[in-house]
Amino acid sequence: MGEEIRLDKRQGIATVTINRPAQRNAVTYAMWQRLAALMAELERDPDVRVVILRGAGTQAFSAGADIAEFEEQRKNSTMARKYHGAVEEALEAIAHFPRPTIAMVAGYCVGGGLELATMTDLRIAADNARFGIPTAKLGIVVGYREMARLVRLVGPGGTMDILLTARLVEADEALRIGLISRLVPLGELESSTEKVAAEIAGYAPLSHRWHKEMLETILRDPGLERLTPQETKLTFACFDTEDFQEGRRAFLEKRKAVFRGR
The whole-angstrom separation of Cα 48 and Cα 53 is 14
pLDDT over 80 (residue 81): no
Do residues 75 and 122 share a domain? yes
Do residues 25 and 122 share a domain? yes
Query: Is residue 259 one of the residues assigned to a domain?
Result: no
Query: Is residue 214 one of the residues assigned to a domain?
Result: yes
Do residues 94 and 42 share a domain? yes
Residue 114's contacts (CB-CB under 8 Å, 6 or more residues apart) are 64, 131, 132, 133, 150
Q: pLDDT digits over 127-151, tens only?
A: 999 999 998 998 888 889 999 999 9
Do residues 214 and 182 share a domain? no
Mean pLDDT, rounded, for 185-209:
95
Measure the N-to-C terminal CA separation of the chain; round to a whole number of Å. Answer: 36
Do residues 168 and 237 share a domain? no
- Residue 24: its pLDDT value, please? 93
Do residues 57 and 180 share a domain? yes
The whole-angstrom separation of Cα 68 and Cα 15 is 27
Q: pLDDT digits over 235-258, tens only?
A: 888 888 888 888 888 888 888 888
Q: pLDDT digits over 149-180, tens only?
A: 999 999 999 999 999 999 999 999 999 999 99
Residue 170's contacts (CB-CB under 8 Å, 6 or more residues apart) are 130
Q: How far is CA 4 from CA 44, 77, 104, 156, in A?
A: 22, 27, 17, 34
- Residue 72: its pLDDT value, please? 65
- Residue 75: its pLDDT value, please? 65
Query: Is residue 260 one of the residues assigned to a domain?
Result: no
For 247, the domain range is: 205-252
Count: domains in the chain: 2
Q: How would residue 13 be classed by pLDDT, with cut points 50, 70 and 90?
A: very high
Do residues 226 and 213 share a domain? yes
- Residue 235: its pLDDT value, please? 86
pLDDT over 50 (residue 1): no
Mean pLDDT, rounded, for 189-202:
96
